[in-house]
Chain A
Amino acid sequence: MDVAKDLFRYLEKIPGGQLIITSTDAIFNWGRANSLWYMLFGLKCCAIEGIMAAGASRFDLDRFGMIFRASPRQSDLMIVAGTVTAKMAPRLKKLYEQMSEPRYVLAMGSCAITGGAFYYDSYSAVKGVDNLIPVDVYVPGCPPRPEAVIEGFMKLQAKIKKESILKR
């Protein structure tokens, strides 16, 4: 992306003021959207598609600037890939709290979105990870193909590019 050309689109004056801050936003967002380091949070079968297959050379998340981190403190994005059980729920919350702002969550697969196949008659599945933490992008499927997950990342990038450091 040509940043210099893009900056122009973001230029905007604050009413009554002379300061222009949106260009700062553009640079921040450009950096954030293109270096989404994601945390390894594979809980079940979805991890194979969303984290392992998508991260390996065929689908290659590196070209989006996405590198996996094994620590929540270094990551910006949590891909919740799989069923969250009642026992995992407090740990998931704790890991989310350890991530530094700005942080994003992508709920991957029907299990993470609603409980999926374990919605009925399950004593342990949490019915949707959005009961625990705020979710930015949902990628449906069981499991979603890596292409679908990449589409989800691009949706997230589009969302990040619309953000402002003032609002966050």
Chain B
Amino acid sequence: MSEEKKIAAAELLIECRKLQATYDYLPFMTAIDYPEKNIIELVYRLQSTATNETLMLKVELPRDKAEVSSLISVWPAADWHEREVYDMFGVKFIGHPDLRRILLPPDWQGYPLLKDYTDPNMIKKPVTI
């Protein structure tokens, strides 16, 4: 089981610089959209290659102003993960050198993993009881 830790978005970069000494590896990061709480939660998983310890880092961002500092300067592996989160959730990573869409076509409108995303090509699943 891994530990869990919540930190404020403003302290993320400073906190991670400290954590880097223990956790030298960032296997993945992702995001979850909670429209009812009006937040987007970023989840970072950190791992230490020396001791195999892991840590789950969680950051909550307001949905209407989802901005956070990029962690590329701490773990370069964050590069493509952050691009994916930007692609799917529209979270802006401040300080990211190349924040473009990574999976969807460059001219795509909207962020499809947000729960309220709709698209003219999307067919709603009919509700069956």
Contacts and interface: CB of A to CB of B under 8 A. Distances in A.
B125 A121 contact: yes
B105 A86 contact: yes
Contact of B125 (A86, A87, A120, A127): A120
A122 interface: yes
Given A123-B112, A123-B117, A124-B112, A87 B122 contact: no
B120 to A, nearest CB: 10
B112 A121 contact: no
Interface string A91-135: 000000000000000000000000000011111100100000000
Give the residue among A86, A87, A124, A127 with the most B Cβ atoms within 10 A.
A124
Contacts of B117: 123
Given A87-B105, A124-B104, A124-B112, A119 B121 contact: no
B121 A123 contact: yes
Contacts of B112: 123-124
B119 A119 contact: no
A83 to B, nearest CB: 14
A140 to B, nearest CB: 19
Contacts of A87: 103-105
A86 B112 CA distance: 13
Contacts of B125: 120-121
Nearest to B110: A123
Contacts of A122: 122
B122 A123 contact: yes
B123 A127 contact: yes
Nearest to A90: B105
B18 interface: no
Interface of B: 103-105, 112, 117, 119, 121-125
24 contacts: A86-B104, A86-B105, A86-B121, A87-B103, A87-B104, A87-B105, A119-B123, A120-B123, A120-B124, A120-B125, A121-B122, A121-B123, A121-B124, A121-B125, A122-B122, A123-B112, A123-B117, A123-B119, A123-B121, A123-B122, A124-B104, A124-B112, A127-B121, A127-B123
Interface of A: 86-87, 119-124, 127
Given A120-B123, A121-B122, A123-B122, 17 more contacts: A86-B104, A86-B105, A87-B103, A87-B104, A87-B105, A119-B123, A120-B124, A120-B125, A121-B123, A121-B124, A122-B122, A123-B117, A123-B119, A123-B121, A124-B104, A124-B112, A127-B121
